[in-house]
Amino acid sequence: MASANKPINTDVPEKDVFALHFLQSLSNLRRQNTFNSPEKTNDRVKKIKKVAYVSMARAAGGTNRLWSRALLRRAAKENNKVVRFPRRKKRVTCLRRRRSNRRDPVEEEEAERLRNLVPGGGGMEISKLMEETAHYIKCLSMQVKVMQCLVDGLAPK
């Protein structure tokens, strides 16, 4: 809390990194035999979506961002895998909850909705939530751009 003049870091890597990860995982996916069957489109859709999110998380933050870690952990749990993250230095995250009634109820309600949307937002305070949301939005939009490019490229001429 001492240095408040540090600018908020919301750097996002270039489009290439995202595309690389996404294509990698897509090609891995395609090698699965069950994937290319013409039926069961819903399964395919779900798998592709999950692949998109996971590759985005890897490309964007790896384990440096809270939302990416939560995403990866969630995805790994679905596959019944255990993900081990390197133990980070324990930061002073237990801010003093002051007795003052600054917890604006309206604000909290909105923050609750945001927490449901952004992965990993459950345990965060509002200021941290804002940072994570900003980074998440940037990464999402980059991923959307990459996917849009792909789809445009693949569209039948």
Partner 1 sequence: MDLSVLERVKWLQQQQMVSPDFFEILGSDGREELKRVESYLGNNNDELQSFRHYETIDGCISRTSSFQIEQVKNNEENRVIALQHKRKTEGKTEKIENKKKKKIKTEDETESSMKGKSNMSNSETSSEIQKRDYIHVRARRGEATDRHSLAERARREKLSKKMKCLQDIVPGCNKVTGKAGMLDEIINYVQSLQQQVEFLSMKLSVLNPELEYHINELSTKQFQACFTDLPEAVSKQLMMVDASSFPLQHQESLDYSVINSIQTTTLGSKDQTSSGWEIHSQSLYNNLRTDSVSSFFSLE
- Counting Cβ atoms within 10 Å, is residue 130 exposed (0-12), middle (13-18) or buried (19+)? middle
Taking the C-alpha atoms of residue 23 and residue 92, their distance in angstroms, rounded to an integer, is 38
Q: Considering the complex, what minimum distance in angstroms separates the CB of residue 107 from partner 1?
A: 6
Q: Considering the complex, what minimum distance in angstroms separates the CB of residue 117 from partner 1?
A: 5
Contacts with partner 1, residue ranges (CB under 8 A): 1-5, 8, 10, 15-17, 19-21, 23-24, 26-28, 30-31, 36, 38, 41, 44-45, 48-49, 52-53, 96, 98, 100, 102, 106-107, 110-111, 113-114, 117-118, 126-127, 130-131, 133-134, 136-138, 140-141, 143-144, 146-157
User: How many C-alpha atoms does 86 have within 13 Å on its Cβ side?
Assistant: 6
Q: Which residue has the tokens 């985005």?
A: 56
Taking the C-alpha atoms of residue 33 and residue 21, their distance in angstroms, rounded to an integer, is 21
Question: Which of residues 49 and 77 has its CB atom nearest to partner 1 in the complex?
Answer: 49
Question: Which of residues 67 and 73 has its CB atom nearest to partner 1 in the complex?
Answer: 67
Question: Which of residues 88 and 98 has its CB atom nearest to partner 1 in the complex?
Answer: 98
- Counting Cβ atoms within 10 Å, is residue 135 exposed (0-12), middle (13-18) or buried (19+)? buried
